[in-house]
Copies of this chain bind each other. A is one copy, B any other.
Amino acid sequence: MSEINELREYFAEIMRLNYISSLLNWDQEVNMMNYKSVDGRSKQLSLIRKLIHRRITSEKVGKLIKEAEKLSLNEIESAMLREITREYNLETKLPEKLVTEIAETSVLAAKDWQEARAKSDFSIFEKILEKTVDLQKERAERLGTHPDLYSTLIDLYEPGVTYNWIANIFNPLRPKLIDFVKKLNSSSDKPDGSIFKKHYDEDKQFELSRKIIEKLNFDFGYGRQDKVTHPFTTSLAALDVRITTRTTEPFPDCITSTIHEYGHAIYEMGIKKELHDTILCTGTSMGIHESQSRMWENTVGRSKEFWMYWYPTFQEYFPENLKNVPMEEFHRAINIVEPSFIRVNADEVTYGLHIILRFEIEKDLIEGKIQVNELPEIWNSKFEDLLGIVPPNYAQGVLQDVHWSSGYLGYFPTYFLGNLYSAQIYANASEKMPNLPDDYKKGEFSNLLSYLKENIHQHGAIYRANNLIKRVTGEDLNSNYFLKYIEEKFTPIYRL
């Protein structure tokens, strides 16, 4: 057997262990919410992780990589070798002591962060966050993927991408977004969101969210939808992709977040069979993944045509709330653009500003230009610059996100990249299929899905994000598509 095939087979076993680890997590989130102890489960998880680590870091892998590099490989094999090498480096370059320390610190940090957020007291989180930042800096130093530390961290989530590349995209967007938000809010005929202050039955919400993803061609023969507190998507096999839904207030969060998770899931479900059980059987980057979830959630799921199809059903389900509300008002209400404190509740336009805030702060933090104890103040002052408002407390400010406590520094930018990728890809799809909105009016979503499957999903991780976007759209990432999208969408909604 050639070395690349040996690697393929060897990593098939690692993929299976990864899926098993995902099941252990999924089950804990979905089924063990009321458990008094997850001690047994934690031990099972660390055992599986240990087994995965041992396998990836075995001498055998190192040798096979060296041999495989000498072979003439086809496109898929090259991509496989690229990803295997990446994994090998990530796992071998870090000493076991550091890996353990990061894992242990993140458990403690999660606890401190929760308490700090509950009490809106940053000082509780400060010390462990300092340690977390130091550990991530050490991690980046040892990995050394890029000359600067922050790029190395970003690369963990968006392979191949650097700080400078992102800054070149985000920096010009910054003032344009600020201005656009101001412009919209100067309107004398803004949408009214008061219908979302009413109560919507949770079972009905769940039922509707299920109906929608069924119509969006989610195949329940290859996946599930379950209820949880924090929605997520996870793959337990190439053809076992599970999404989760929350039904907490405010409406229609349940609907939009379910469509969002659907977008992640349908990406994973669409990867071609040839890649199953290989290291390429996954989305190619967090940003591309997010482009899929956000395209379905926002571009499709908040479009007027989508609601022309669905709104009558919603009125039937919630007559007391919606009977007297015209579709157009509902559509405007789910597209309110307004500076707000919490990122996960932010609209499509202000969302980017929340990310730019974190991107700038992370950069300075990693480079030691700002210290952890300065974060609350810097957060608030930057927040005012970007969004024109100041968080009333730290819980709604610097303490709102779980990411830093988990050591995920460099992750945030991928969310906004997702919006940008999405706009560019969707513009391409619209060019090829100008009648997409007419599809939605009829409850027909398979043309868009086929396009995405053909151009993006099936390829799994064969092409890196920058490569993929060029293949699909003919050019590098270009934020003008996003700017054009929000302008064309929100100007009429705000009747400007």
* A17 beta carbon closer than 8 Å to chain B: yes
Cβ distance A34 to chain B, nearest Cβ, rounded Å: 6
Query: Does B35 contact A240, Cβ atoms closer than 8 Å?
Result: yes
CA distance A44 to B276 in the complex (A): 13
Q: Nearest chain-B residue to A31 (Cβ)?
A: B224
What bracket does the count of chain A residues touching chain B fall in? 20 to 34
CA distance A276 to B40 in the complex (A): 9
Binds B, one of A18-26, A369-377, A436-444: A18-26
Given A20-B24, A23-B27, A44-B16, the answer on whether A39 and B224 have CB atoms closer than 8 Å is: no
Q: Nearest chain-B residue to A237 (Cβ)?
A: B40
CA distance A41 to B276 in the complex (A): 13
Number of copies: 2
Query: Does A19 contact B44, Cβ atoms closer than 8 Å?
Result: yes
Interface string of A236-249 (1 = CB under 8 A from B): 11111000000000
A210-243 CB contacts (< 8 Å) to partner B: 219-222, 224, 236-240
* A70 beta carbon closer than 8 Å to chain B: no
Chain B residues near A40 (CB, 8 Å)? 16, 19, 236-240, 276-277
Residue in B44, B219, B237 whose CB lies within 8 Å of A20: B44
* A97 beta carbon closer than 8 Å to chain B: no
CA distance A276 to B39 in the complex (A): 11
A30-44 CB contacts (< 8 Å) to partner B: 31-32, 34-37, 39-41, 43-44
**Which 8 residue pairs across A and B have the least CB separation, nearest first?**
A40-B237, A36-B221, A16-B44, A16-B47, A37-B239, A20-B44, A40-B240, A35-B221
Besides A36-B221, A41-B237, 20 other A-B contacts (C-beta < 8 A): A13-B47, A16-B40, A17-B47, A20-B20, A20-B48, A23-B27, A32-B240, A34-B221, A35-B222, A35-B240, A36-B239, A37-B222, A37-B239, A39-B237, A39-B239, A40-B236, A40-B238, A40-B239, A40-B240, A41-B240
Give A residues with C-beta under 8 Å from B: 13, 16-17, 19-20, 23-24, 27, 31-32, 34-37, 39-41, 43-44, 47-48, 51, 219-222, 224, 236-240, 276-277
